[in-house]
Chain A
Amino acid sequence: MLNTVWLVPALPLTGFLLLVLFGRRLGEPKAGWFASAMCGSAFVVTLLVFLNMVSKTAEERSHVVKVFSWIPVGSLHVDLAFLADQLSITMALFITGIGTLIHLYAVGYMHGDAKFSKFFIYLNLFVFSMLMLVLGENLLVTFLGWEGVGTCSYFLISFWHTRDSAATAGKKAFVTNRVGDWGFMMAMFLAFGAVGTLSYGSINSAAHAGSISHVTATAIALMLFVGACGKSAQLPLYLWLPDAMEGPTPVSALIHAATMVTAGVFLMTRMNPVLAEAYHWAPTIIAVVGAATALFAATVAVAQNDIKKVLAYSTVSQLGYMFLAVGSGAYVAAIFHMVTHAFFKALLFLGSGSVIHGMHHEQDMRKMGALRVLMPITGFTFIIGWLAIAGVPPFAGFWSKDEILLYVFANNRALYVVGLITALLTAFYMTRQVIMVFFGEAKWKDQSEEHGAHGDFVPHESPKIMLLPLVVLAILSVGGGLLQLPFTKNLHFLEKWLEPIVAHGEAHIDGSWASNNKYLLMLVAIVVALSGIALAVGVYGKKKLPAIEPQILANAWNYDKGVSAFMGGPGRQSFEGVAWADAHVIDGAVRGTGLLVRQSSGIVRKIQSGYVRVYAAAIVIGVLAMLAWFMWRGVA
């Protein structure tokens, strides 16, 4: 059964190819059904592979399926091969599962769009690329998927490309990703140089065996982290994610919440033995960047008014949590949070899409309100998602976030405090969002003239095809915590499942103060979450406290402006300097050589004077030289 794992990416690829050829003829909605069917069958295959894997022992679960030998050049042998092990199948499960749900949702959301079938072409291509990324057996196949998802992200963000902002956002995402990709490539070069192969198995066993030096391991790990920063929107390179909200909401849900942005966390987890071999300060850097990003994004989310932008910054913040976990050695917790985050963030995004759909494409929260009456299912599922992300038990988000905070506390108290503050802010801004959208006064009543002159404008509930995924995701957000309950070791399903993958790098905190007092820390987390909610209710619900939304937060601490200024000013100057050097030094050397040859030939050609006697003299000189040489040879 494990041998069929190649089917999992092959099915969406087939969907992509067939839709390219026949998509427009299939039209709406058949193209959408077909794409969803492809994604769904990939999910079924993944499920079967998973069940087969469960029935095996821990040692037998890792399986490599080689499709063909891709690059056999000299000492570099790269195969197009898939590695089906616990980590990749876990990722593939929720990628295909949530992917199918979002495909179904999109059939309803993109109803009436002129480029309906093209949307599904890109969606299937995206799922294919993402599966290549997680199922890859070596860094190069992962990189193939990595670039693929970046490209699809570009296509899908700028799907409505006639809108300037959408086109710009797509370009911004692609370029920023590219900067991160440089890090990935450097890591690949270093890994190849150190180990001689790009295969995960070989690199990780080399790291286990200690044959990668600390310096190299640190370099590889940090370069991979640069790539992860680009793809997973961490602090220096996060700026594409909020702008990526220009794309249709299913895109935001699938790519920018559940799957693509988690690629960085996946990569770090995959290469955790290398990170474990690095210097001690390397994981600390990762943890600090993660924590800083989490806090930064949470502060910005407090002041956003677009329903999707809040969720975008929230995603950046939650990703920061995941990297904080990675840096603290809590790989299982990071994956756990990744899975639960996929559930509730996709739910929140799809829910916001439902709201936008029902509000006739209005996205400003200040113009919504009291929607829970008119959109009951959307509201109900959204509230479940809200409780999950805020960290209220027994919903999924609480368990995963608590697990992370536990490991962080054992590692670094200061980062624990940062994490706690971020949790408070998360609860705060999510509550703010829920209140502004679903409770309070119905501010849309004043806007009825703007939304078409067909009498009263009343927001309506979305069609059933869009509500079904919401319900499924809500159920998952409630029960997702069952993957890893902290009460006894027997309930640590995820940890036991992933143990062979992360054994080398996982931090062990049994016996530490944090582990012994985990219930106390759990209580602290619950208190923080509830106080965040209470604060938000006080500010926005009961209007008892003043709302503090400084402009600087709304502008994301002017980070975008800072980057533009830097790139436009010193950045541009350095680029121009490099271009000048290229034109004058490098090209100059080449042209100079040509010039030198021409000028010297201009001098040398004067020997050809045209006079026969000069030529005769030249011949005589040559003969004389030869004669002299022969004589000298004969004498000596």
Chain B
Amino acid sequence: MELVVFICAAAMVLAGALGVVLRSNPVHAALSLVLTLFGIAVMFVSQHAEFLAAVQVVVYAGAIVVLFLFVIMLLGVDRAENLETEPLGIQRPLAIILGLGFVALLITAILKGRDALNMRGDGINVASDGDHDANIRQIARSIFTNYVVAFEVTSVLLIVAVVGTVVLARKRKSDKDLIGVAP
């Protein structure tokens, strides 16, 4: 059963990823991204990380992708990129080589290190019929005891990010070029 789930989720993930990279229309790309995110969420569930799956859907697929779509709308929906040409000639072959090399190295590392991973942690509480919140509770305990400082800092980070973006995206009174880019 898990195998089927895995294969379906993997197919979703890969299809979405390829869609993001290969579609010229940005809206199509954004929708492919949603597909990927859903696939990832499914995989989270199959590994008993339910809380994260929920957060993934709500935050990533629900907020971030929406944000992307808003910006696409702002900048023009029909601004499709011309995928035929590539001004930097070497970039595509180089990217493919690098990508393949990278993946090969990583897979080699994974396969080689397979036996080195031994059980060592304190155990993961899995949600069961009697205890629906086991996973959430465990993550919460971890965050609010071990990582409470990081938690506080990330809250500050969120505020800073929001304020900064509001300042950044303001339209200036004068219309002069803020960043000297080639037209």
Contacts and interface: CB of A to CB of B under 8 A. Distances in A.
Contacts of B155: none
Given A611-B88, A634-B112, A635-B112, A627 B105 contact: yes
Contacts of A613: 88, 91
Interface stretch (B57-65, B94-102, B118-126, B134-142): B94-102
A621 interface: yes
Nearest to A620: B98
Contacts of A609: 88
Interface in A590-635: 609, 611, 613-614, 617, 620-621, 623-624, 627-628, 631, 634-635
Contacts of A623: 102
A628 B98 CA distance: 12
Contacts of B105: 624, 627-628, 631
A547 B31 CA distance: 127
Given A613-B88, A614-B88, A617-B91, A627 B109 contact: yes
B94 A617 contact: yes
B108 interface: yes
Given A613-B91, A614-B88, A614-B91, A620 B102 contact: yes
A620 B95 CA distance: 9
Contact of A621 (B98, B108, B109, B112): B98
Contacts of A621: 98
Contacts, number: 29
B109 A617 contact: no
Interface in B75-105: 88, 91, 94-95, 98, 101-102, 105
Nearest to A621: B98
Contacts of A611: 88
B88 A624 contact: no
Contact of B108 (A620, A624, A631): A631
A611 B106 CA distance: 27
Given A611-B88, A613-B88, A613-B91, A624 B98 contact: yes
Nearest to A635: B112
A635 B109 CA distance: 10
Interface residues of B, number: 12
A614 B88 CA distance: 9
Contacts of B101: 624
Nearest to B91: A613
B100 to A, nearest CB: 11
A624 B112 contact: no
Contacts of A631: 105, 108-109, 112
Nearest to B116: A634
B181 to A, nearest CB: 10
Contacts of B108: 631
Interface string A409-446: 00000000000000000000000000000000000000
Contacts of B102: 620, 623-624, 627
B93 to A, nearest CB: 11
Contacts of B94: 617
A613 B81 CA distance: 16
Contacts of A624: 98, 101-102, 105
Nearest to B106: A627
A144 B88 CA distance: 73
Interface in B4-43: none
A617 B112 contact: no
A624 B88 CA distance: 21
Interface string A150-169: 00000000000000000000
Contacts of B98: 617, 620-621, 624
A609 B108 CA distance: 33
A520 B7 CA distance: 133
A624 B106 CA distance: 10
A412 to B, nearest CB: 88
A235 to B, nearest CB: 78
A617 to B, nearest CB: 6
Contacts of B88: 609, 611, 613-614
Contacts of B109: 627, 631
B173 to A, nearest CB: 29
Nearest to A609: B88
A43 to B, nearest CB: 86
Contacts of A628: 105
A317 to B, nearest CB: 87
Contacts of B112: 631, 634-635
A255 B38 CA distance: 108
A616 to B, nearest CB: 9
A620 B98 CA distance: 7
A178 to B, nearest CB: 63
Contacts of A620: 98, 102
Nearest to B101: A624
B84 to A, nearest CB: 17
B85 to A, nearest CB: 14
27 contacts: A609-B88, A613-B88, A613-B91, A614-B88, A614-B91, A617-B91, A617-B94, A617-B95, A617-B98, A620-B98, A620-B102, A621-B98, A623-B102, A624-B98, A624-B101, A624-B102, A624-B105, A627-B102, A627-B105, A627-B106, A627-B109, A628-B105, A631-B108, A631-B109, A631-B112, A634-B112, A635-B112
Given A613-B91, A628-B105, 5 more contacts: A614-B88, A617-B98, A627-B109, A631-B109, A634-B112
Nearest first, the 9 A-B pairs at minimum CB distance are: A620-B98, A627-B105, A624-B102, A617-B94, A624-B101, A631-B109, A613-B91, A628-B105, A611-B88
Interface of A: 609, 611, 613-614, 617, 620-621, 623-624, 627-628, 631, 634-635
